[in-house]
Amino acid sequence: MNIVLLGAPGSGKGTQAERLAERYRLIHVSTGDLFRRHLGEGTALGRLAESYMSQGTLVPDAVTVAMIRERLEDAPEDGGLLLDGFPRTTAQATALADLLAERSQAVDAAILLDVSEERLVERLLGRGRSDDVRETIQTRLAAYREQTLPVIGYYEALGALWRVDGEGAIEAIAQRLAAILDGLATPA
Ligand code: AMP
């Protein structure tokens, strides 16, 4: 079972992805975390990514896809994936489809965590991460609107999109997500 978790910055993707990965024994793959790890280790990729991350823009697709390709090579083929923060562009979405096709797999569901923009800004400002300053937040939200919203349409056209209300208590949102995954796991 390969799941893509979609949502704007501040939608709670990371928090929910961690819980879902644990509950359903999925391999949690977060491109934001991978970039931050490279940054912490001072790799060339980390230094390259930093220039984009600090501004709130997306790291180029070729770089991001190469990193995911490498990450998936390390992941056992029989382990389901929970992708968090990837894909963020339609080019990434088609690259993911190709990478999964090499394993005779596909994205089984893309779940969108729906949160109002007002609430997103509130949450991002409260988080205090170095790229969570007001100006960068606006750039990240604009990147989401311009580059990531089309990814929602991509999965919708495939009939693989689920929308979940991402507002409310963490536990309540986790229950909504679990209801979808439980439905997918049930044999037809
Ligand atoms: P996140 O932790 O998912 O909010 O990601 C933090 C930053 O990492 C983003 O603002 C981007 O600069 C970069 N990033 C993470 N995932 C991607 C992706 N799939 N494509 C391009 N850039 C990404």
Q: Which residues line ligand 1 (CB under 6 A)?
A: 9, 31-32, 35, 52-53, 56, 58-59, 64, 85-86, 88, 92, 140
| Distance of CA 187 from the midpoint of ligand 1 (Å) | 35
pLDDT digits (tens, 9 = 90+) for 28-37: 999 999 999 9
Q: Which domain holds residue 168?
A: 2-174
pLDDT band at 67 (very low <50, low <70, confident <90, very high): very high
* Residues written for the chain: 188
The total of structural domains in the chain comes to 1
Instruction: Report the CATH number that the domain containing residue 160 is assigned in CATH.
Output: 3.40.50.300
pLDDT band at 186 (very low <50, low <70, confident <90, very high): low
The answer to whether residue 179 sits within a structural domain is: no
Q: What is the pLDDT of residue 187?
A: 56
| Distance of CA 34 from the midpoint of ligand 1 (Å) | 9
For 53, the token pair is 């991350």
The answer to whether residue 91 sits within a structural domain is: yes
Taking the CA atoms of 143, 120, 92 and 57 in sequence, report the sign of the dihedral they define.
positive
The answer to whether residue 181 sits within a structural domain is: no
In angstroms, rounded to a whole number, what is the distance separating the alpha carbons of residues 118 and 121?
6
pLDDT digits (tens, 9 = 90+) for 96-112: 999 999 999 999 999 99
Main-chain dihedrals φ then ψ at residue 15, nearest 5 degrees: -60, -45
Q: What is the pLDDT of residue 130?
A: 83
